[in-house]
Structure 1
């Protein structure tokens, strides 16, 4: 047996060990993964606009936003354009580039 074939067998064995260890780690991670954290706040029911507070505290009624501020980029908009959905269900786009909705 040549030196080259011995190295090939050694590399194949090392590769098999690495693949096996990776599989074991993945299975252990999936089995031992912690449960999803509990939600500690309002819960939005899918497909509805109903929000149920997890704490039992009363909710404020819905309100329209009056402006938009992003101080880190120096953005301050005092007036928002009201937008809705188009007939195909996508969001409307403001009529001009400087409007925010």
Structure 2
């Protein structure tokens, strides 16, 4: 089933552009001037006071009720972000981007993390010479985890199964934003070469993950 919030936005962009791939939804997560990428400080896998957290296994068929994301932790690449920003679409149909280097944003036109379908979180690789929250996203490997704290108090734990880099001119919109049978997560940033003429990176890095556990 197509997600009622996501697909109208995607198909509207497709119709407006008259192309198969809705390139207007491709992130332009790049600074106006390139910055040096340095590894972030390692993050704690679980915040203090979580010793009594109960773990509930989740399968691809499971889905949680809607709840806004509140935090993101990716221990393998040192990400620990609090206060997830809402992202919508710009007037020309492109996905909005976070306003600074360290903020992570959630595309509100997609499911919330833990709902059935592909939740989308985006952040900069770098911004104004400051390493971005997703500066090390390309280093993620299958089997590593991303933990999304939700406004309802649950923590949705996703396990990475794939990391890809795509040219922005050939971004697979349907593959990234398309329907999934279970709860999934997409983590998106920029990558590849930096084009000084346009002030943008030429590629996007996308990590794909599935919901594998819920902590309450």
- TM-score relative to the length of structure 2: 0.21
Structure with greater contact order relative to length (CA < 8 Å, sep ≥ 6) = 2
- TM-score relative to the length of structure 1: 0.41
Which one has the bigger strand percentage? Answer: 2
Which one has the bigger helix percentage? Answer: 1
Q: Which has the larger radius of gyration?
A: 1
